[in-house]
Amino acid sequence: MQWEQQLVHTKRGTFEVFRKGVGQPLCITHLYSEFNETGDHYADCFTQYYHVILVNLRECGHSVLSEEPFDLSMIYTLLDLEEIRMSLGYTSWSFAGHSTGGILGVIYGIRYSSSLEQLIITGASPRDYTDCKQCIYHQEHPQFKVMQDLLIALKNPKLSTVKRKELSEERTKLSLYHSEKYHDWFNGKIQKKMNVLRLNHFSSELLIYDVTNKLPQITAQTLLLCGRHDVQCPVELTYEMHEGISNSEMIIFEESNHYPFLEERDKFQKAIQQFQTQNI
């Protein structure tokens, strides 16, 4: 079953969302992914327990374009999400995010906890994760250059579809605990894109990103999830968030890297189910 497309008209423009699942509303998005009817691996894990609203942010899919560079900032993105929530008729909803979607979730909890029933953050960070030596984006990491070369190559708009697929696979394998299982998890059924404009804006914003001291402002019931071997947002950053967010639970997946919702899917979904049922 594919996701159902909807265009949501708000005071801040029209946004494309995809809906699937049953239960209480849960918003999911990512700072530079472009979704379509095939959905998203992370979002699919929640549709048994929530009614998921998967959002294409500005410049993605059929959503409104940006008028100013700051329209792509994280705080302005939250203003967009709040307008989407109100336009859909929800007085509150929950939010889940993975990686940069999780980073957006951290800021969402700080700024708008009153709008959130629950907050689920997976493989994310309260500060610039590239400062961690365990991070693959840190210059001292042994695979730093490999990752950088792949990122630069993927930004080339002239790449053939076949070559882009090959490079994307190489990049993703760097963030898997068992890279040999790549084709078991990424089978081509889900076809989403990377929005380079949004990625570039996030990369510049990340340089000054640090909300560690503001974590206590998150009052929404929060679940923190991370793979023990995460090379993108190292597990120590999840421990930092758990320490800073008083109303939080934390689960670490011992045989996962950056994708615990694929690498240990059954355990991940069990964690989501338990969190959802104990906090409704």
Write out the H or E segment, with its range, that includes residue 4: strand 4-10
pLDDT above 90: residue 1:
no
Answer whether residue 159 is part of any domain: no
pLDDT at 182: 95
**Dihedrals phi, psi of 226, to nearest 5 degrees:** -160, 145
Average pLDDT over residues 18-36: 96
Residue 39 burial by CB count (10 A; 0-12/13-18/19+): exposed, middle or buried?
Answer: buried
pLDDT at 188: 74
Answer whether residue 166 is part of any domain: no
Separation between Cα atoms, residue 275 and residue 221, nearest integer Å: 9
pLDDT at 279: 64
Answer whether residue 156 is part of any domain: no
Per-residue model confidence as pLDDT tens digits over 54-89: 999 999 999 999 999 999 999 999 999 999 999 999
Answer whether residue 147 is part of any domain: no
Beta bridge partners of 250: 224
- CB 179 within 8 Å of CB 171: no
Per-residue model confidence as pLDDT tens digits over 161-193: 899 889 989 999 999 999 999 999 998 788 888
Answer whether residue 257 is part of any domain: yes
The angle at the Cα of 116, spanning 108 to 5, to the nearest 5 degrees, equals 85
pLDDT at 280: 58
CATH label of the domain that carries residue 248 = 3.40.50.1820
Residue 60 tokens read as 């993605």
pLDDT at 159: 86
Determine if the pTM surpasses 0.85.
yes
Separation between Cα atoms, residue 271 and residue 263, nearest integer Å: 14
Average pLDDT, the chain: 95
Answer whether residue 138 is part of any domain: no
pLDDT above 80: residue 95:
yes
Average pLDDT over residues 21-28: 96
More confident residue, 224 or 151: 224
Answer whether residue 104 is part of any domain: yes
Total domains, the chain: 1
Separation between Cα atoms, residue 81 and residue 57, nearest integer Å: 8
Q: Which of 52-66, 192-206, 207-221, 254-268 has the lowest mean pLDDT?
A: 192-206
Using 50, 70 and 90 to split pLDDT, how confident is the model at 126? very high
Answer whether residue 83 is part of any domain: yes
Task: Give the DSSP per-residue string, 171-191.
Answer: HHHTT-SSGGGHHHH--SS--
More confident residue, 11 or 159: 11
Domain that holds residue 76: 4-127+189-278
Separation between Cα atoms, residue 234 and residue 197, nearest integer Å: 25
pLDDT at 8: 98
- pLDDT above 70 covers a percentage of the chain that reads 99
